[in-house]
Amino acid sequence: MKAVLALADGRIFMGKAFGATGETSGEVVFNTAMSGYQEVLTDPSYKGQMVTMTYTQIGNTGINPEDIESNQLYLSGFIVREYLDCYSNWRATMSLDAYLKEHGVVGIQGIDTRALTRHLRDKGAQNGIISTIDFDPESLVKKARAIPSMSGLDLATGVTCAAPYHWTEGLWDLESGYPQVDRKDLKYKVVAYDFGIKLNILRCLVSAGCDVTVVPATFPAEAALAMNPDGIFLSNGPGDPEPMKEVIENIKQFVGKKPIFGICLGHQLLGLALGGRTIKLKFGNHGSNLPVMDMATRKVEITAQNHGFSVDILSLSHACKLGHENLNDQTVEGMGHKELPIFSVQHHPEASPGPHDSHYLFDRFVEMMEKFKK
């Protein structure tokens, strides 16, 4: 079946449909990961976006029930060069096409993703629309231009959990899968704010010795402090951090009272709570092969990333120092408070999909909580 991708600036790409049929819209971004498309599909941080995979062949490992980062698909559309319906993997139970159909996600294949990626790099990430029912370029471009900009959108409160819950599942093991850990064996009580949290982040926290209670995005700080946690975790999530005023005020109440660790959107919200500002990047950083330097050790890590906004470290010079730097575009990849037990990173140390170079950050959080207890 024929499908069309139209960008707001008028660029048109003709291709073939796969996954669900119909019409969908969102901000078009590109992801440079060569594998891990299933984790990309289930990452809540992609809500409101249509993801272009720069790797040429997608679908060849199928879909399995274990490699998910949430229980549903949040992205608006999926764009690939070549979809492979014939999959081969010992854990796979269904094809990517069937998976997208099951979750109602529209996909387009057969377009020049290299040309699309270069266009987005030159012109910037922008809104677009995929359609299998309307093939009129003028009509599609008009609809794409009517889509709200990602700037100013609070999407995190739309993907957060409805009520608090405990998490006790650890990291995956080849022999036994995901282990359930006895809470009696977990030393550090952590309240994790869910702004679109990825499951592997929770597993990493548990495997580091944390007894995790996950709470909704707007869960009152007073109620969280009443749990007497050893630390506060601020998760990843979609959208612009600046409109999340209630959340930012909440975070301010933890400063100086508990150790805080933030990832991705949590990192940005923490920057705003500490008096800084954030900026919208031209095309963002999305992939699992992006180099970052830990400024404390000067070691370079290959990281997984998914963000369209960045913290302006100069606006936080009164409180924080640069912790990590992106070696591709020199944007802020992490920061640490000059006096308080607070640090955060823009990239994803849980690395699912991606490398494990940054796993040590969960141990750093545990060490921080242990020191604060003494």
CB 49 within 8 A of CB 28: yes
Per this entry, what is the length of the chain? 374
The DSSP bridge partners found for residue 169 are 180
User: Active-site residue among 264, 307, 325, 337?
Assistant: 264
For strand 188-193 and strand 332-337, is the pairing parallel, antiparallel, or unpaired? unpaired
Using alpha carbons, select from 278, 276, 232 the residue that is nearest to residue 256. Answer: 232
Secondary structure letter of residue 148 according to DSSP: P
CA distance 315 to 336: 14
Across residues 254-260, what is the average pLDDT? 98
Across residues 149-165, what is the average pLDDT? 96
348 is catalytic: yes
264 is catalytic: yes
pLDDT in tens, 129-142: 999 999 999 999 99
Question: Helix or strand or coil: residue 228?
Answer: coil
Give pLDDT, residue 221: 98
The whole-model pTM stands at 0.97
pLDDT in tens, 32-82: 999 999 999 999 999 999 999 999 999 999 999 999 999 999 999 999 999
286 is catalytic: no
Domain boundaries, the chain: 2-146, 156-373
Class at the top of the CATH hierarchy for domain 2-146: alpha beta
CA distance 38 to 57: 14
CB 93 within 8 A of CB 67: no
As a whole-number percent, the residues of the chain with pLDDT over 70 amount to 100
Establish whether domains 2-146 and 156-373 are of one fold: no
Using alpha carbons, select from 348, 316, 346 the residue that is nearest to residue 331. Answer: 346
Give the mean pLDDT of the chain. Answer: 96
CB 193 within 8 A of CB 344: no
Is 309 flagged in the annotation as binding? Answer: yes
Is CATH 3.40.50.880 correct for 156-373?
A: yes
